[in-house]
Chains A and B, each alone.
Chain A
Amino acid sequence: MNSLIAGVILILCLSSYFFGRSEARKLVTQNIKLKALPAYYGYYLSLWCGLPALIIFGCWSLFEPTIIKVLILNNFPQIESKDLFYEQTLSFFNGNFSGEITNEIKAASIKYSSINIIAQNSKIVIIAAALIGSLTFAYRKIQKNNKARDDVEIILKILLFTSSLVAILTTVGIIVSLLFESIKFFSTINIFEFIFGTSWSPQRAFVRDASAITPEELLELQDAFGSVPLFAGTAFIALIAMCVAVPIGLFSGIYLAEYASTKARKYSKPIIEILAGIPTVVYGFFAALTVGPFFRTLGESLGLTVSSESALAAGLIMGVMIIPYISSLSDDVINSVPQSLREGSYAIGATKSETIKKVVIPAALPGIIGSILLAVSRAIGETMIVVMAAGLAANLTINPLESTTTITTQIVMILVGDQEFDSPKTQAAFALGLTLFIATLILNYIALRVVKKYREKYD
C-alpha cells in the first residue's frame, strides 16, 4: 500500500515535469516572454507536485503507529504492561501470535483493524488532496508566468539545507544519548574511580535488576570500573601500531612523492591504498589466526612466554592497516610542496636527500603531523582487530607479549548478548564510548588545526 502511494506520487512528479514544461512552451507560442526557461516550469510543477505530498506521506507514516497505539491503549486502561500487550495484539492481528489469547487481545485487535482501515483511507484522501491542491496552485502560477527559476532555487536550497540538518542532528542525537547514559553511569559509579581506577572487572556488576543493588553492593562495585587498564591498553596498542605505520608509511610516502617514476607511482599508490580497503575483520582474523600463533611459536623457540593473543600481534597488524593513511596523506602533502623550493635547494648544490630532509619534509611537516594524528585517532577507535587479536583480560602491562585489552574491545564485550540496559555494566559502555569519542575528537581537532596552519604557509 505504502509503496503504491509512493510510486503514484513519483510518477505524478515525473509527468508533471513534462506537463509543466509543455505548458510553459505553449505560453511561448502565444508570444509571451517567459521569466525562466520552460524546463524550470517543469521542475517547478514537479517539485510542487511531489514535495507537499511526500512530506505529508512521510510524517503520516512516521506518526501513524504511535497515534494508533495511543488510541487503542486508551480503550484498555486496566492493562498493566501496555507495551507487551500492544505487541501481542499486533502479532495476533498479523496471525503469528503463539501465546495465550485473551479477550482483551481479541477486542484490541478488532479495534486495531477498524482504526487501521480508517487511517489508510484518510491517508489516501489527504495525500490526494495535497497532490491536487499543490498541482493546481503551481499550475496557476505557471499561467501567471512567475519567476520559476528563483522559486526552484529556493526550494533546492531548502532541500540541501535539510539534508545537512539531518546529518548534524544525527550527530547531536548520538552525542546526547552518549552523554545521558554516561551521566546515569556516573550517578552510580564515582567518576574519579572510573578515570583513575586501575582494576576493570565489570562482570561483577552483572546483577539482574539495577534497582535491586543495595548501597553495600554499590560500594563494592565502585572499584570494578577503573578504566586505566583500558586506556593504557588502547594507548599501548596504538603506540605499537604507530611504531609500525609511521616509519613505513612516511618512507613509502616520501618514495612515492620524490623518487618513484610517474609510472611506478601510478601503479603502486593504488596498491598501497588497497590496504585501506581490506575489511578490518579480515585483518582481525589474520592477526588472530596467523600472526598471533606465529609470534607464540617464535617466542617459544626463543624461550619466551608469548600469549597467543598479544598486544604485539594486534598492534603490528593495526599498524599495517594504518600504513596507507599515512603514506597516501603524506604523499599528497609532500607533493604539494612547491617545486620551486626543491629547485632553490638543488641550485645551491643540495643533493636530493638533503633537499628532502632539510627543505621538503620541514615544509610538509605540519601536514605530515596532521596525517599521523588522523591515523592515531583511527588506531584508537579501531575495534575488530583488537577484539580478535588483543584479548579480553584487562592487564595493566607494558609487556607487548602479554594479552591486553582496549576500550573498544570492552565496549563490544559489554554489549554482546542479552543485556539489562539499566545495569551499571551496560552504562559503562556508554561512558567508555563517550571518553573515546572525546579523545578522538580532540585528536582530530588538533590534526585539523595543524593542517589548516600548514595551508596558510604558501598562499
Chain B
Amino acid sequence: MELNNSKIKIKAKNLNVFYGKKQALFDINLDINQKEVTALIGPSGCGKSTFIRCINRMNDVIDICKVEGSVEIDGAEINEKNVDVVTLREKVGMVFQKPNPFPKSIYDNIAYGPIIHGAAENKDQMDNIVETSLKKAALWDEVKDRLNEPGTSLSGGQQQRLCIARALSVNPEVILMDEPCSALDPIATAKIEELIDDLKKSYTIVIVTHSMAQAVRVSQKTGFFHLGKIIEVDSTEKIFKNPANKMTQDYITGRFG
C-alpha cells in the first residue's frame, strides 16, 4: 500500500459532535488520503454518518447539532464562521443512503447543480456537462434516449447512479457516500462498486458501509467506529487481515455489532 506517500486531503482533529445534550462523536482524529477510497465501518449508531456529514457541514441543517473541533480540507479549516458552505459543498459532493433524485427530469436532475453555481453559459455547455456527468456515473448509455423522463422513473440502482452523476456535475474533489448500496440489489451494488473503483482515479472518496465485503472490495483505507469513537484506522488490508484492536477483530468477524 502506498499509504505513506499519499497526500492527505481531509484532516479531522479533535472532532466532537453533539445532538442536543447527547454526544455523538468523541475526539475524532482521522486523515483521509487524496484519490483513494476510505471506508468507514462500525455498528449502527456509531457515528460514521455523523462524521462524514461533518466533512460537507451537512450537520448545519440539523438545528440541535453542534460541531466542535477542526476539519481541514487541503489544509484549510472548514468549521469557521466565514467559510462559504455553498463553495464547500460544491467541492465536497454527497451521495445518500436512499436514492433521492429530485422529482424532475433526468436532465434537470443533473443540470440542477451547474445552474445553481452558474457553471454553464449556454445550452451546449449544459448538454455537455450533463453528458459527461452521466458518462462518469456509467449511466449515459442507459438513459441517453430518455433524458426528459422523470428521474424517479428509473430503477433503484439507476437512481443511485443518477445521484452520483448529480454529485459529479459540479466537479467536486471529494465525494461522500453514506451507505450508497444499502437500498440496492447485488447487481446494482456491483455496478456502483465498479463505478467507485473507477471514480477514485480522479476523486477522493469516503464511503460509509455496513458490508465488510464491500469495504474490502472498494477501499484502500478503513476506519472502524464504535460508540462515537474511532477504534482503529489503517490500510484496509491490515484491518481485515490483522487488526491491532480486539474490538475490530470481533466486529469484522461478526462477533458483535
User: Which A residues are closer than 8 A to B by beta carbons?
Assistant: 261-262, 338, 340-351, 354, 358-359, 362-363, 457-458
Q: Which residues of B contact A (CB under 8 A)?
A: 56, 58, 61, 63, 85-90, 93-94, 96, 98, 100-104, 112-113, 116-117, 152, 163, 166-167, 169-170
A sample of 30 cross-chain residue pairs with beta-carbon separation below 8 angstroms, ordered by A number, consists of A340-B96, A340-B98, A340-B100, A342-B61, A343-B94, A343-B96, A343-B100, A344-B96, A344-B100, A344-B101, A344-B102, A346-B58, A346-B89, A347-B56, A347-B93, A347-B94, A347-B96, A347-B167, A348-B166, A348-B167, A349-B87, A349-B88, A349-B89, A349-B116, A349-B170, A350-B86, A350-B116, A354-B116, A363-B103, A457-B103
B103 near A348 with CB under 8 A, answer no
A348-B166, A349-B90, A358-B116 given; 16 more Cβ-contact pairs under 8 Å? A340-B98, A340-B100, A341-B102, A341-B103, A342-B61, A343-B94, A344-B101, A346-B58, A347-B89, A348-B170, A349-B86, A350-B112, A358-B112, A359-B112, A362-B102, A362-B104
**How many Å lie between the Cα of A261 and that of B62 in the bound state?**
11
Bound CA span A338–B98, Å: 11
Chain B residues with CB under 8 A of A350: 86, 112-113, 116
Q: Which residues of A contact B103 (CB under 8 A)?
A: 341, 362-363, 457-458
C-alpha gap A350/B169 in the complex (Å) = 13
Interfacial chain B residues near A261, Cβ < 8 Å = 63
Rounded to whole Å, the gap between the CB of A358 and the closest CB of chain B is 7
Closest chain B CB from A332 CB (angstroms):
18
Chain A: which residue is nearest B57 at the CB level?
A: A346
Specify which of A338, A341, A347, A363 is in contact with B58 (CB 8 Å cutoff): A347
Query: Which B residues lie within 8 Å of A342 (CB)?
Result: 61
Most A CB atoms within 10 A — which of B56, B103, B166?
B103
Most-contacted residue by chain B among A344, A345, A349 (CB, 10 A): A349
Q: Kindly identify which residue among A262, A345, A348, A457 contacts B152, using a CB–CB cutoff of 8 Å.
A: A457
Instruction: For the complex formed, measure the closest distance between the CB of A124 and the CB atoms of chain B, giving whole angstroms.
Output: 68
Q: How far is the CA of A351 from the CA of B61 in the complex (A)?
A: 11
The dominant DSSP class at the A interface is helix
Partner of B89, one of A338, A341, A348: A348
Pair B100/A348 contact, Cβ less than 8 Å: no
Contact A346-B61, Cβ < 8 Å, known A340-B96, A341-B102, A351-B86: yes
Most B CB contacts (10 A, CB to CB) among A347, A350, A351 go to: A347
Q: Which residues of B contact A354 (CB under 8 A)?
A: 116
Nearest-neighbor residue (CB-CB) of A338 within chain B: B100
Assembled-state Cα–Cα distance A349/B118 (Å): 12
Give min CB distance, A107 to chain B, whole Å: 80
CA of A458 to CA of B153, assembled, Å: 11
B203 CB → nearest A CB, Å: 15
Q: Are B104 and A349 in contact (CB under 8 A)?
A: no
Assembled-state Cα–Cα distance A351/B115 (Å)? 13
Q: How far apart are the CA atoms of A99 and B56 in the complex, in Å?
A: 92
How distant is B17 from chain A, measured CB to nearest CB, in Å?
Answer: 17
Chain B residue with the shortest CB-CB distance to A358: B112
- Please give, as numbers and ranges, the residues of chain B lying within 8 Å of A345 by CB-CB distance: 102, 112
**Bound CA–CA A457/B152 (angstroms):** 9
**Nearest B residue to A366, CB-CB:** B103
Which A residues are in CB contact (< 8 Å) with B89? 346-349
Q: Which residues of B lie under 8 Å from residue A262 when comparing CB positions?
A: 63
What is the chain B residue whose CB lies nearest that of A364?
B103
- Docked complex Cα distance between A196 and B104 (Å): 43
- Chain A residues whose CB sits within 8 angstroms of the CB of B166 once the complex forms: 344, 348
CA distance A348 to B61 in the complex (A): 13
Q: How far is the CA of A354 from the CA of B85 in the complex (A)?
A: 14
Specify the chain A residue showing the minimal Cβ separation from B104: A362
* B residues near A359, Cβ cutoff 8 Å: 102, 112
Complexed CA–CA distance, A341 and B103 (Å): 9
Bound CA–CA A133/B89 (angstroms): 80
Smallest CB separation, A100 vs chain B (Å): 79
Most buried by A among B101, B102, B117, B152: B102
- A348 and B96 within 8 A (CB): no
A426 to chain B, nearest CB (A): 52
A358, B103: Cα distance in complex, Å: 10
In the complex, chain A residues whose CB is within 8 Å of the CB of B169: 348
Counting from the closest, the 6 A-B pairs by CB-CB distance are A349-B89, A347-B94, A340-B100, A348-B113, A344-B100, A349-B90
Q: Which residues of B contact A340 (CB under 8 A)?
A: 96, 98, 100
* Shortest beta-carbon distance from A335 to chain B in Å: 15
Known: A348-B93, A457-B103. A343 touches B58 (CB 8 A): yes
For A344, A345, A359, which residue has the most chain B Cβ atoms within 10 angstroms?
A344
Task: Give the CA-CA distance A358 to B104 in the complex, in Å.
Answer: 10
In the complex, what distance in Å separates the CA atom of A262 from the CA atom of B103? 27
